[in-house]
Structure 1
Amino acid sequence: MVFWYNIESGEVEADEVKSKGENLMGPYDTEAEARDALATAAEKTEKWDEEDKAWEEKGWGSAADDGSC
């Protein structure tokens, strides 16, 4: 069974009864993982922001900076 986190309602939903639409995060293997979806996303975003900052501090910039996109 898989689970989804509904960002609009703040509820965890099982796959069989999940809402339709863009307000779902997942799928997650466990109900606990789905319940922690926002915290997990925040942690990943913080990590990626730190990696981006380190990348830019090394002078490598982003692909968008060099006009290649």
Structure 2
Amino acid sequence: MQMAQIDSIYHDGYLAVTPLGTQSQEDTLLLLKDGTVYSGLQVSPADLDVAASRKNEPDETVSSV
């Protein structure tokens, strides 16, 4: 992936109350300029193969039309 394809990266850290107590949670979203949003990335954006991800992991992307 080219860095020019990235519109923004959103990171949110927060505390969540669970039955076991308070736990730290984090959400990271990658927004591409074509309107695609990735959540739960397992690799660095620089290592992301967008075409392969869309084919093999369709549930990991949300495309806004």
Higher strand share: 2
Normalised by the size of structure 1, how large is the TM-score? 0.26
Give the helix-richer structure, 1 or 2.
1
TM-score, length basis structure 2: 0.26
Tell me which structure has the larger Cα radius of gyration: 1
Return the structure number with greater relative CO, CA threshold 8 A, min gap 6.
2
